[in-house]
Structure 1
Amino acid sequence: MTETGPLATAYRFRVTFTLPGSGASDPAAPSRLGSGGFQECTGLDIEMEVGEYLEGGRNDGVVQRVGRMKVARLVLKRGMVLGGQGTVLPELWTWIAEVTGGVRPVRRYDGLIQLLGADRRPVAAWAFRRALPAKVVGPQLHARTGEVAIEELHLAHEGLRMVTP
């Protein structure tokens, strides 16, 4: 994806989707869903469950035990997923239709969210694993502006970590 066109001017987050193993499970499936530009990204939350263990004879405190990690759904707002030619890709909507239509095996995507600085270069990045589309709020089409954007894309995923941009 180039740094020109609609993604270079309006969006602060770039999101790239790839299949885990790059299509090893289904050679007919696209290995990349494309890259998207979004104006807002929420859900970069990780919460660790901590269990308390009341140790006998220890009255001055409680032992804290590590539990499971919980991640929030990623919510990408006001954006679009574009292909190499700078056109809106139908693959995102195809993926959503396959998941909601019961196509098996369910295709999941890994992804990378990059926060872009003023010079359009990544300043921070987060990688997520095995995402599924949990909710999509489609575009509000306006003839005056010609904008075609996704209002909200909610992604349920299985892991999040900060990576070098």
Structure 2
Amino acid sequence: MADEYLLPAFAFQVTLSRATDRPASRQDANPAVIGGVTAGFAECTGLELEADIKEHLEGGRNDGIIRRVGRVKLSPIVLKRGMFSADPTSRANADLWMWLTRMVSGEFPVTRYNGRIEILARASETPLATWTFDRGLPQKVTGPSLNAKTGEIGIEELHIVHEGLRMEA
């Protein structure tokens, strides 16, 4: 255990690239990020898979249950960032909102994004752990909680549902 290192949870990057019919692992590495704007995120959650276990009761066997693997449940990826604008006098960047708004208003084709979430080494850009998700759609966008009593920045939140999550070695 002395030769093992814990990964830092504060040094990470999220890359969203326009999805095609190919899986994310075979996508081009060129990030066509939402609206052409690269945005950093302060927090990322939802890197989880949960197996749906089916229980079968066997007649005459009262001391146990047979369990079989069912479908995998995928949690939405939740990304949080501070709201920002180009300068103090310009309007806030609305790319995350527009992605959801265009989908809800029926604009076709629906734009899907594959994602890559990487934990980085402190002193370099070398990824120590990487998760990828396929064909993400915006499920929810949340604006900031506004409170004149605090000096906090406005945080917006994006929930992305997807069709598969993998951790790459």
Fold conserved (TM > 0.5)?
Answer: yes
Q: Distance in 2 between matches of 1:18 and 1:149?
A: 25
Change (3 A) 1:17 1:149: farther
Q: Distance in 2 between matches of 1:45 and 1:53?
A: 26
Q: What is the CA-CA distance between 1:21 and the residue it aligns to? A: 2.8
Q: How many residues align?
A: 136
Q: Following superposition of structure 1 onto structure 2, how do residues 1-165 of structure 1 map, counting pairs within 5 Å?
A: 12-21=11-20, 32-33=32-33, 35-78=38-81, 92-121=96-125, 122-138=127-143, 151-164=156-169
Q: Is the 8 A contact 1:76 1:153 kept in 2?
A: yes
CA deviation profile, 1:113-165 (whole Å, cap 9, x unmatched): 1122312422211101111111223469xxxxxxx98621111112111013x
User: SS of the residue aligned with 1:59?
Assistant: coil
CA deviation profile, 1:69-100 (whole Å, cap 9, x unmatched): 111111111258xxxxxxx9876554333212
Q: Which consecutive unaligned segments of at least 5 residues does structure 2 have?
A: 1-9, 23-29, 84-91, 146-152
Q: Which consecutive unaligned segments of at least 5 residues does structure 1 have?
A: 1-10, 24-29, 81-87, 141-147
Q: Is the 8 A contact 1:33 1:91 kept in 2?
A: no
The amino acid across from 2:116 in the alignment is L
Identity across aligned pairs (percent)? 48
Q: Is the 8 A contact 2:132 2:166 kept in 1?
A: yes
Q: Distance in 1 between matches of 2:67 and 2:101?
A: 44
What's the RMSD between the two structures over aligned residues?
3.3
Q: Is the 8 A contact 2:113 2:134 kept in 1?
A: yes
The amino acid across from 1:50 in the alignment is I
Q: Distance in 1 between matches of 2:93 and 2:167?
A: 27
The amino acid across from 2:107 in the alignment is V
Which structure features the higher share of strand residues? 1
Q: What is the CA-CA distance between 1:37 and the residue it aligns to? A: 2.2
Scaled by the length of structure 1, what TM-score is found?
A: 0.66
Scaled by the length of structure 2, what TM-score is found?
A: 0.65
Equivalence for 2:87: none
Q: Distance in 1 between matches of 2:73 and 2:159?
A: 16
The amino acid across from 2:53 in the alignment is V
User: SS of the residue aligned with 2:58?
Assistant: coil
Q: Distance in 2 between matches of 1:89 and 1:128?
A: 25
User: SS of the residue aligned with 2:166?
Assistant: strand
